[in-house]
Chains A and B, each alone.
Chain A
Amino acid sequence: MTFSARELRLLALPVLACIALLAAGSALIIWTTGKRVAEERALAAAREERSQARERLMRIAEEEREVKEKLEIYRRLKDIGILGEEQRLEWADAMARIRTQLELPDLRYRVERQAPLKTVPGKPANVEFYASTMHVVLALLHEGDLLRFLEDLRASGNAYYAVRSCSVTRSGQAVTITGLSPRLRAECDIDLITILDRAAKA
């Protein structure tokens, strides 16, 4: 059966209406399916969140013990100045004091600019670890002076001192009868590590 142009025109509207209805129906299905998928995702997330909250609540006794234990260390870190902003003036004072106390013939140092330390993933974003590398050149009468210098430096606080490298060489100067001249020369690179906790209360 072939249709004339007039008949095709008469058929066009119902066919278009049919297509429009089917398209509207399909759109309805797509929309509700999208909504359903989104809700299923939300359900999965809500289940996960509830599971984590329950788990956290169940671990609360362990957490309390952990908090008590870690709080001691945290307070200590704060007390000795590792936690907080860098105290460069304090470092300079400490270096001068140590030189005087150990009667070191020569002590030169240079502290580089601060840089963040790479840390493990999952750490809260508002806790940052920084390091400033200090290059120290010491003139020593005896190798024990180096050990005492490091010990005094650690005791001075205001940072965690992580020694990266140290070299000790003979300075080549002979021992004189009249006075003591340095026999050894030491060079060390030490990281001065500080922790910045932005959630910490003053």
Chain B
Amino acid sequence: MKRLLYFTADDHCVYAWSRGRLTLEAKFPGDDLGVTAFREYLTGHRGALFYAVADLAGEDFHEELIPYLRGADRELVVQRRLAQRYRDTRLAAALTLGHVSGERRNERLLLTSFTNTQRLTPWLDALAESEARLAGMFSVPLLAPVLAARLGARGGRCFVVTANAAGLRQCYVDQGRLRFARLERMADMAPEASAAFVRSETGRLAQYLSTLRVLPREGPPVQVIVVAPPGQRAAFERTLVSDTRLSFLTVDQSEAVRRAGVKAAPPAMGAEQIYLHLAVRRPPREQFARREDRRSFVLWQLRRGALAAGALGFAGCALYAGASWLDVVDTRAEVADLQAETRTTQQDYQRITSAFPVTQTTTDNLRATVIEFGKIARQTASPERSLVYLSKVLADFPLIEIDSLQWRVDAKAERGARAPASAPAAAAASTAAGDASRAPLEVLEISGRVGTMRGSDYRAITAEVQRFASALRADPAYEVQRTQLPFDVTSEGTLSGDIGAGTDTGEAQRFTIVLARSLR
């Protein structure tokens, strides 16, 4: 619920506004008694939201030119100009009329205030004391540009003429901006007389503005939008005949009310109901109340703004969360479908596997047992094969006598481990073939000696052992990994002998051969 305090010269009324419906709540005389009664009224409406609208004669309009400024500098200049123009600036406003480009860029201002603010301030003080939230202090002329737009003003110059409770209100609007306004008392008259009064007063206003050079003397006719009292439109149209200076457009009050959006109002209300409604629905940015007078309203707006921001944020989050939840629901449904499909597939699998041969374990265990066992079996060996192979080779070497055999499975052995360390190419090749050569090896270390040869016949002994080693290589599955000759003939080893004594000890020269076979 919003309330409007409507000031006229005779009395001041409080209207309640709710969704375009105006109802008269209280009426107060404009004197001190009225202020007292208003204070009493406010005790029952503490913290109410008020819009004040003044419809008074003696509203001053004065054009000023100020340098083009922004922010605090502009505010400072504006306040200084208002203070220069008006003795009491509590109810003074500066309306911008646009910028003027010349040598210096300037801004045109329309300074406006009431000639007698003392009549209004006690009422505003009463509002402040009751902690009422004052949205703004407007005058009817401030609302006239909005009404002109609603009634179809074409954007140029126009007069808006309405018959209010306070009298005949005339406002001059130029390019959607207020330039001047006056209020003339209007007695109860017959429609034709009212129309004639409107005609004469409009002519006087045009003449006055022309004199002030606010309205050009030449040019197209000025549009005059007249809101005729209910049922008097025909009489007005007969009287208000357009000429080269003024072009009249008469709108019935009921039509104007409809276009402004007023749903209901007390029957006796004049066109002021439109202004009051517009003050709530389309309040202009410029108004008369000081920041201090509107403090409660600003605070209330901030509180509402914070709550609205929170609610809006929560609503947005809830909307997003709702969309996410729909995704969750869809995904759950999809998961359920997939699980059902999986169950069906598994049941099919179980049904088919139940016809398999009867096993004594699970299929997985059966597979794992056999596969693992196969791997173990492939990586193990028995010495029989190598011993038989050695035995066959030995048949061709009667001089070779075996002392011992060492057979083992070398799971981590590398082939060619005894390759010359100084051969980088060989080492690189060995690395490249690393994986392949890491297969488990079956290794047979053969230790023996060459019998019935003179120990000093080292050439013959060495040749016999090398021949034996070569014979062991005959089967490509076997590889001779190492051959340790009775005499170390390599450059890395130590060669020793005892030939000075001239006698042979008869001790056989021992050798070692390491034979390997991959188990892969």
Supposing A74-B370, A120-B375, A195-B369 touch, asked if A22 and B317 sit within 8 A by C-beta, the answer is yes
Instruction: Known A56-B349, A78-B360; judge A70-B324 contact (CB<8 A).
Output: no
Number of contact residues on A: which range applies? 35 or more
Does B306 belong to the interface (CB within 8 Å)? Answer: yes
Complex contact A43–B334 (CB within 8 A): yes
Most chain B CB within 10 A, of A25, A57, A170, is at A25
Assess the A29–B310 pair: CB atoms within 8 A.
no
Q: From A13, A124, A143, A160, give the contact of B373 (CB < 8 A).
A: A160
Shortest CB distance B328–A (Å): 5
> Is A53 within 8 A of B409, CB to CB?
no
Q: Would you call B348 and A22 a contact (CB within 8 A)?
A: no
B387 at the interface (CB under 8 A from A): yes
Q: Which of B104-112, B399-407, B474-482 contacts A (4 or more CB under 8 A)?
A: B399-407
Inter-chain contacts of B315 with A (CB < 8 A): 25
Query: C-beta contact mask, B307-324 vs A, less than 8 Å → 1, else 0?
Result: 101110111111011001
Given A20-B310, A60-B353, A117-B376, CB of A25 within 8 Å of CB of B370: no
In the assembled complex, A165 has its CB within 8 A of some CB on chain B = yes
In B408-448, the 8 Å CB interface with A consists of 408-409
Q: Mark B113-126, 1 if CB is under 8 A from A, else 0.
A: 00000000000000
Q: Once bound together, how far apart are the Cα atoms of A3 and B298, in whole Å?
A: 11
Chain A binding surface, main DSSP class:
helix
B338 within 8 A of A: yes
A32 touches B324 (CB 8 A): yes
Query: Which residue of the partner chain, among B348, B359, B409, contacts A67 with CB atoms under 8 Å?
Result: B359
Flag if B366 contacts A70 (CB, 8 Å).
yes
Question: What 5 A-B pairs come out closest when comparing CB atoms?
Answer: A25-B317, A18-B310, A21-B310, A165-B408, A162-B380
Interface residues in chain B, defined as those with a beta carbon under 8 Å from any beta carbon in chain A = 291, 295, 298-299, 302-304, 306-307, 309-311, 313-318, 320-321, 324-325, 327-328, 331-332, 334-335, 338-339, 341-342, 345-346, 348-349, 352-353, 356-357, 359-373, 375-377, 380-384, 387-388, 403-409
List A residues at the B interface (Cβ < 8 Å).
Answer: 1, 3, 7, 10-11, 13-15, 17-22, 24-26, 28-29, 31-33, 35-36, 39-40, 42-43, 46-47, 49-50, 53-54, 56-57, 60, 63-64, 66-68, 70-71, 73-75, 77-78, 82-83, 117, 119-120, 123-124, 126-127, 129, 143, 146-147, 150-151, 154, 160, 162-170, 191, 193, 195, 197, 199-201
